[in-house]
Amino acid sequence: MLTKRIIPCLDVTKGRVFKGVKFSELLEIGDPAELGKFYSDHGADELVFYDITASSEDREISLDFVSKVAANINIPFCVGGGVNSIEDFTKILRKGADKISINSGAVRNPALITEASLKFGAQCVVLSIDAKKNDQGSWSVYVKGGREKTQLDAIEWAVEGVRLGAGEIVINSIDEDGMKNGYDIELLKQITDKVNVPVIASGGAGTIEHFYDALTKANVDGILAASVFHYGEIKIVDLKKALKEKGISIRTP
Can 213 be counted among the known catalytic residues? no
Which residue of the set 31, 45, 88, 130 is catalytic?
130
Is residue 98 among the annotated active site residues?
A: no
Report the C-alpha dihedral over residues 178, 106, 219, 38, rounded to 10 degrees. -50
Sequence length of the chain is 253
Q: Which of 11, 45, 51, 177 is catalytic?
A: 11
DSSP summary character for residue 60: P
Sign of the CA dihedral 15, 74, 42, 227?
A: positive
CB under 8 Å to 36, separation ≥6 — which residues? 10, 47, 49, 69, 72, 73, 77
At residue 188, φ and ψ (nearest 5 deg) are -60, -45
Write out the catalytic residue numbers.
11, 130
